[in-house]
Structure formats: structure tokens, C-alpha cells
Copies of this chain bind each other. A is one copy, B any other.
Amino acid sequence: MSDLHSLFNPDSIAVIGASNNKEKIGFVIMENIQNSGFQGKVYPVNPREKEILGYTCYTSIGKIGQPVDVAVISVPAQLSLDVARECGESGVKFLVVVTAGFKEIGDEGLKREKELLKICRQHKMRMVGPNVVGIMDTHTPANASFAEGFPKQGEIAFISQSGAMLLAIFDWSRSVGLGFSRFVSMGNKADLNEVDFIWSAAQDPNTRVILCYIEDVADGKRFLDVVSEACKKKPVIILKSGTSQAGARAASSHTGALAGSDLAYDTAFRQCGVIRAETMSDLFDLAVAFVSQPIPAGNHVAIVTNSGGPGIIATDSVERNGLRMARFGKDTIETLRNALPAEANLYNPVDVLGDARTDRYSVSLEAVLADENTDCALVLLSPAAVTEPVKTAQVISSLRERFTKKPIFAAYMGGEGLAEGCQVLTNSGVPCFTFPEPALKSFSGMVRFAALQRKLARGQQLPKINNIDQRAVKATFYDVLKERRLVLLGNEATSVAEAYGIPVAPVRLATSPEEAAELADKLGYPAVLKVASPKIMHKTDVGGVKIGLETRDEVMEGYHAIMNSVRRLMPGTPIYGIEVQKMMPKGDELIIGMSRDVQFGPLLAFGLGGIYVNLLKDVSFRLAAGLTLEEIEEMIAETKAYSLIRGYRGSKPADIGALVQTLARVARLSLDFPEITEIDLNPVIAYPDSAVALDVKITVSYDENEV
């Protein structure tokens, strides 16, 4: 990974296109650099100015004669290439190209953008943008952007593909007093993209939480490699838009980016350990939770409330977010019983009653936090005559300091009268909401992150795969590629699968009734016959399939019957012969499949097979890249099919190890042969001591860009 230290902590910044005209972006950038308190050197560049805001102005970047870490370019698009070249020649390390008029405006712009990138590569410069608002670092401090003002210092890095989004969040964050370590506007991401900025923020000692808004990922493979490492260090929270069909269209008209399917994104994020935010509110609620609260040890919530209704609502929300209510130990209950009135509810949610002052909150919250079954506490306060919102907030804050390993959230449910108390909480690092539900949604994001950290701590194994025959696959593909066929024949697909140790019911191709009978003798009865033709997709519909053939004679008759039927219904269709297979006994029908995502590569699928695939859509997904044994096991366990195969109503459990191996081998095959675009094993029959695919379909592609 390239080091972006001097981008965010530069010794010197040049502004090309700097201006004394206050209407110009070149002036706003200069003013921002100055107002941010930047301690390094500042070089405005503009042939028509002598001095800007007290800084000596240069006629060109070449005239500075000093090393320049960052050059902000804010000149018309037509001039940008020349300016970039000069920067390269002068040894500038980083460009921040504010100038618009590149990929986002169409072909002409795309050409200019490619040229710009070429210049950067030639001179080993790295580039932010083009078409960006700029970057800010509150700890350096530096504000090399045209966003008016400077954020409050904090520990959240915000990385945005949309400049408007960055400006909106920047504006909003200042009004709610949220602090940031960095703001990064990525623009068209011609060079540096989310992977670089996430990695850099992961190294940054001043950043604790990494927030991203993205519309696509520039390089899926690098994203998987790097972001999964970043997630081991810090929470990475991403709002990825374009999840809808309609949204994806809007995204691609906006950035011209080829968006991968949302399912692949979702899978990639989960596999990397990224916490995905659903809405903009969630993104910031999560950021606040992660930046202010410790990572919880488990998912058990204790609730302390002064009224029943909100307590029930919060309890509902605990369950809805996949969390659990803490069950308190005897000591806790005893402490509560001694401290609270007889009518109080001592069990979770603890109801300290409407006439509670601070003392009851204090003793209850302390007791439940001290309980080892509590991983997180939520304090609910509704206004009543004797309620002490500020004093109670102070107590919560001091308990926050004492119990350093358990997150605490509050919901102060009311209006103006509670505002001061809420402010006390916020200032001391306890997120305070108006209603309880968002607190639990945020906590649930923290629990997901904690689970990931534990999984990483346990260590993960890559599945062991032996006995792979790549040469056999290559030999099979030789014919397919030569004939430019997109779909492998049944016996070809079977031999590819067999070469990778994927268990398939053997299929052999017969070109005469006698050969079919001999193959049936060898493979065993009852036999199945299927017509072999690259042109026939739905074989049953044309009488191309015969099942349950018990004898040589039946096989030979079947051969003739299929040939007659297909020749009659599809005259002139090329027929390669008849595939012979042994009919397998019944068992649970599953599907194992792969489809290649343009961003993230092979995406594996596992679930209920047979006719239920499309009907019930009980399928789980994982990306093949870096797939561990544990992930494969999880993938199987999270389907409904799992309750079927692990033994349902007294039936014997299926051989799950065989399914794991099959998935691992399909993953390996897909990674080894990028020309494979789709694999379908459907159905895979799971038996107590094995798993066998009855049908294998393999599709390939010749688009070199997709390989």
C-alpha cells in the first residue's frame, strides 16, 4: 500500500489557480488553508497575482523551487493536463484535483481523465479526484478544500464519493457538534480510491472510526484484501447507495461507474467485516456509538427506565435488532430490591417508577452494569414532576467512566426540559436519543463488529484441497474454446467437476444404442439417458430424457426413442449422442452454484435445490476470494436447508463435510479458471455419507475484460 502520510500531513501545499477574487474557488481554498491553522508552507500559484492572503504568489509550480507535498489544482479543465505535467516535473507528491470536467461529463472528459492519470503515473504522483471538494485533516491541521469552515476536531474519518454529500454532512455535523479527524472527497477516483483512504485512515492514530459513503468500489479484489485488514484495526462503516434496481441506474448515470450487483457488495462487506449502514441516520448513529463507546463483550442489554411503556418499546427493539435482554444475577436483584420501592420492577427492564429521582437511577444503573450478564446498558428517562434529568445525566456520565468496558446509551424522551441533561450526556460521551430504538440499532452494529473481532481472534483456516487436476480441465476447455461454445456439454462439465474432485454422478457419452447399454452395465442400473446437444436447453420438453431404465434392452430402446423424438421435434439440431448416467437414490435436494461478479469475482451460492430454488430463494452467498473453512460452514448453517440436512424429524444428518468440500472445490475451480462465468450443481443430493451432484452446468465467457 502506498503511504498517504504526506497527503494528510503535508509540509507544503501549493494551490494552482489560487485567486484574490473572493467569488473564486481558488480564493476559498487559500482562505481555508490559512484559517485551518496549517503550519507548513503555502504556495499560491497564479501568473496574474503577486500575493494572496499574505502568501507570495508564483507564476508557475516550477518557479517555487522548493519541495511541494500537495498541489491543489483549481484551474479550468482544459489547462489541467499542462498544470499536472508541470507538477510532475517539479516533483510534487500528491495532486488534489478540484477541477471538474472529466469522466462525469462523458467521452471527452473520460479521455482527459485517462491522460491525467497517465501523467500521474509517469511522474509517480498520486492523485485525489478529479472533481473533488478536497481533503481536510483536523489534527494536522489542514483544510485543502473549498468547503466553507472547518470541522470540529474528533476521531471520525469521513470518506465520500459524492462531494455534495460531503458538504451536506460537513454542514450538518457542525450544527450537531460532531467531531471529525478527516474529510475526504474522492470524486471520480481515477487514481486513489476508497481502498487507499480506508487503509490510510486505519493507520492514522487520530482516527478511531472510518465512515464511508460510496456508490461503487473501484477494484473489488483490492477492496477485499485491504479492507478486511483495515477492519481488524478499526470499525469501518459504509453507506453504499445504488442498492435498488432504480438506484443502480441513478448511480451509473451519476458517476459512470459500472456498479456490481448489490448482493455481491453485501457479501463482500460482510466477509471483510465492514458494518453496512442502511440509512444516513444509521451511518452517523453508528459512528457516534463506535467513537464514544467501548466494544461490547456480548449482546445482552440491561434497561433502566422510569416508566413502563418506553421500557416495553425498548424491549421490543432489543429483540428486533437481534439482541438479548440481560438476565440479572441474584445479587443484582437483591441490590435492586433493597434500593427500590416495593412496586418497582426489579427484572429487566428495571422500572424505577415515575417518582424516581437520581438516587434510584444511580443505584440501579450501577447494579446492572456491575452484573456480569450485562454487556450494555440503556437508560430511559421520561419527564415527570420529580425527575432530575441533569443530575441523572451526571450520574450516568460518572458510571460511564467507571464501567469502561460496557457501552451505555440513553434516551431522554421529551422536549426542552430535557435538553440540558441530554447535552451533559453527549458531552461526556454517552449517546443520547429522543426515542429508544436508534440506540439499540446502534448497539446492534457494535455487537456485529465485536463478533467479527472474536472470529478474527479465533483465527481462520483455509480449506484443505488435494487431488486437483488442472491439466484435465485445460484439456476439456481446449475443445470448448476452440468451438467458441458458451455452455459445456454434460459430459464435459462432469469431467471438469471430476478433475477438481467435485462429486458428480458420472455421465458418459454414447453414440450408439449398444455403447449406451455397455456404459449402463458399467455405471449400474437403473439408468438415465439424456440427449447431448449444445442447442437443447429443456431436454424433457422434447422427449430427450428417459429415466428408471432397468435393463440393457430398455436402455437401447430408450436410445432410439430419444433420437426419434428429438429428430422429429427439432429436426436439423446437432446431436452429439446420448449421455448415460446411473439414477441416484432420493435425498435432500440442494444447490451449489457460482456466478462471477464483475467487481468481486466468483460469488458462491448454497441452498435448497430442485424446484424450490426459484420459489423459495433459500440461498446464502459468499465470495470465493480468501474464503475460509469457517465461512463455508457458516454459509451452510445460515440457510433454512441446514435444518433439513442436519437431521429433520429423526432422519439421519447429511454429510456436511462433503458439502463443505464441494463448496471449497467449486471456489477453487472458479478462481483458477476466470473464464468460467457460472457453475450450477443442481440438484446436489445430500446423503448421510456423501453428497453427489446429479447435474452440472458450466458456462464460460470470452470477454477478456471480464476474465
* Interface residues, chain A, with chain B CB atoms under 8 Å away: 105, 160-165, 167-169, 171-176, 213, 215, 239, 241-247, 250-251, 253-255, 279-281, 306-313, 315-320, 325, 343, 345, 347, 349, 351, 354, 382-384, 413-419, 434-438, 541, 611, 615-616, 618, 640, 643-644, 648-650
Contacts and interface: CB of A to CB of B under 8 A. Distances in A.
A316 B161 CA distance: 16
A611 B308 CA distance: 41
Contacts of A306: 164
A185 to B, nearest CB: 11
Contact of A172 (B163, B384, B413, B541): B413
Contacts of A161: 309
Contacts of A320: 243-244
Contact of A280 (B169, B415, B437): B437
A13 to B, nearest CB: 22
Contacts of A280: 313, 413, 435-437
Contacts of A246: 315-316, 318-319, 325
Given A280-B437, A354-B164, A383-B167, A309 B413 contact: no
Contacts of A254: 308-309, 311-312, 345, 351
5 contacts: A168-B307, A168-B414, A171-B415, A254-B311, A611-B649
A309 to B, nearest CB: 3
Q: What copy number does this chain have within its complex?
A: 2
A42 to B, nearest CB: 23
B437 A279 contact: yes
A244 B316 contact: yes
Contact of A310 (B164, B308, B319): B164
A434 B172 contact: yes
User: Interface residues of A: mostly helix, strand, loop or mixed?
Assistant: helix
B611 A648 contact: yes
Q: Of residues A105, A251, A611, which shows the largest number of chain B Cβ atoms within 10 Å of its Cβ?
A: A251
A62 to B, nearest CB: 31
B611 A318 contact: no
A615 B608 CA distance: 11
A382 B167 contact: yes
A241 B312 contact: yes
A416 B419 CA distance: 17
Contact of A174 (B215, B251, B384, B415): B415
B307 A247 contact: no
Given A281-B435, A309-B162, A243 B172 contact: no
Nearest to A649: B611
Contact of A241 (B313, B434, B541, B643): B313
A615 to B, nearest CB: 6
A434 B171 CA distance: 11
A220 to B, nearest CB: 19
Given A162-B307, A164-B382, A611-B648, 20 more contacts: A105-B343, A160-B309, A165-B309, A167-B382, A168-B413, A168-B414, A173-B415, A241-B309, A244-B318, A244-B319, A251-B312, A253-B347, A254-B308, A254-B311, A280-B413, A280-B435, A541-B650, A615-B640, A615-B644, A616-B616
A640 B343 CA distance: 48
A416 B174 CA distance: 8
Contacts of A416: 171, 174-175
A250 B318 CA distance: 12
A173 B415 CA distance: 7
B251 A317 contact: no
A352 to B, nearest CB: 12
A279 B317 contact: yes
A314 to B, nearest CB: 9
B648 A615 contact: yes
B309 A213 contact: yes
**4 interchain residue pairs of minimum CB distance:** A164-B307, A162-B309, A175-B415, A244-B319
A173 B315 CA distance: 24
A454 B438 CA distance: 34
Contacts of A318: 244, 246-247
A345 B349 CA distance: 51
A25 to B, nearest CB: 9
B168 A312 contact: no
Contacts of A311: 250, 254
Contacts of A162: 307-310
A298 to B, nearest CB: 16
Contacts of A215: 309, 312
A31 B644 CA distance: 67
A680 to B, nearest CB: 16
A46 to B, nearest CB: 20
Given A247-B319, A616-B616, A312 B415 contact: no
Contacts of A164: 306-310, 354, 382, 384
Nearest to A176: B415
